[in-house]
Each structure stands twice: as C-alpha cells, then as structure tokens.
Chain A
C-alpha cells in the first residue's frame, strides 16, 4: 500500500512540474506569439501533461472531467476522493 501512495504522489508531483512549464510557456507565448521554438516546447509539454493526466485518471481517478472516461466506471471518484486542500495523499 505504501508503494501505491508513493507512486500516486510521484505522479501528482510530475503533473505539477509539467503543468508549470505549460502555464509559464502559455503566458510567454501571449506576448511572443511568433516564437516558433517556444510553441514547439509548449506542445511537447502539453502532450506530456495529457499523458500523465490520463495515467493518473486510470490509476487513481480523474483530476479533470475530460479524463473521466479513462476511469473505473463503478464509482464517481471525482466526487468521492479527497479534495486538494486536504493535503498530501
């Protein structure tokens, strides 16, 4: 059980790191909309994020509704699992 908790925290941490790049590059591109290299960089991280969000949804429940279809259909985990302000898993 410890391992599954660690894996979950690691995955959530990775999503945070990847999404930080997405947020930062989005705001950068808003004022540099023709920077091709930055766009490619952003696209790479958007793909990484989607993959990680999908993996998290499959294993532990969705972090956003658009990943809910990749989850266990016996329980609506969006509602039953802890909310982020409760602190670490």
Chain B
C-alpha cells in the first residue's frame, strides 16, 4: 500500500507562465521516457522478481518516480495556470487547450497520448533490469534536452536539474541490482533460463 506526503520532493515555484516550455516539459509526465512510464514500469515488474533486494529497489524507485510525476505536473501547471487566451493562441498551445483547457493530461510533447507500450514488464529478471537501466538513461537524455531549453528560466531549471540527477542515481542502483542477480546465476550463461519462471536445478 502507499501513503502520501503533502509536499513536493523538491520545491517548484514558477513565477511566469510559458506555454511553449510547458508543452516540451509535459513529455516527462506522459511521454515515452516520462515519469508515469517509469513508475508503472518498476512497480509492475516487482511481481516477477525472485530476489528480495531487487523487489526493494523496484518498490522504492517506483515510489520516488511518483514524487517526480507530481513535480513535473506541478511545473506544467505553474507554467500554464495564468495563461491568457492571446498567449494560448500565439504559443501553439491551442491544440492542447481545446481538449484539456489547462488541466494536466499524460501525453508526449508531440501530442501522442500515454500508452503502456512505452514500458515493458517482461517477467524476466535480466530483461527487465536492462530495460530499467536504459530507461533511466533515456529519461536523463530527455532532461538534458529540457535543460538546454530552460537555460534562461532559473525557476524551471532548478527542479529539472534535480530530476536529471535522480536518473543517474537510479541507473547506479539498477546496475547494482543487476549485479546482485548475476551473482546468483551461472556466470557461464546468465541467459540460459528465466529465474523468475523456470525452476532452477540446484
């Protein structure tokens, strides 16, 4: 189960609206390498994990990603909450506005709606952990792209920089989880069977 804390993991206080930036940053809410996909990926993968430490990593990182989801939504909300009709029309935000006004809805910057095909839960330990490591790197690259777009907006830059740093830490933790798994498998052939499904011959 879960409990909620009524605060953000890192403060977000954006003073000026900016619909263009909001449209780009929205991708880290519901885009292909966004925080919804991250959290659902790790929380869903837990059930096929035969090793407790790895389930712990997936639970705790999957939970932290929910806090990141809330931060990204807050950034988008604060960038759009006081938009005028003129700004909506001139910034290219009208396509989003027509369906969602200035509410938060998960989609990629290019308009593609969130879809669970953006992550995998394969039921195979090594497959899943390698996906997780790639996912953290892809999210880091996306945050790097966002940082280049937000250089002149310190209120936006600081929380994005925090989120980027967390991707690097999580990559490290998933790398350690993969090492823990491999230490328990036959080093001559890690991929001979699926320890989450096939019964190992001792």
Chain A: residues with CB nearer than 8 A to chain B? Answer: 12-13, 15-16, 19-20, 23-24, 26-28, 30-33, 62-66, 78, 81, 83-85, 87-88
Contact = CB atoms under 8 A, between A and B. Distances in A.
Contact of A63 (B6, B13, B56): B6
A45 to B, nearest CB: 15
A30 B13 contact: no
Q: Is the interface of A mostly helix, strand, loop or mixed?
A: helix
Interface centre among A16, A28, A81, A84 (most CB of B within 10 A): A84
Interface residues of B, number: 29
Contacts of A81: 6
A24 B169 contact: yes
Nearest to A85: B74
B70 interface: yes
Closest 10 CB pairs of A and B: A31-B176, A30-B56, A85-B74, A88-B13, A30-B57, A84-B8, A87-B13, A63-B6, A64-B5, A27-B60
Interface of B: 3-14, 53, 56-57, 60-61, 64, 70, 73-74, 77-78, 169-170, 173, 176-177, 180
Given A64-B6, A87-B12, A87-B13, A26 B177 contact: no
Nearest to B55: A30
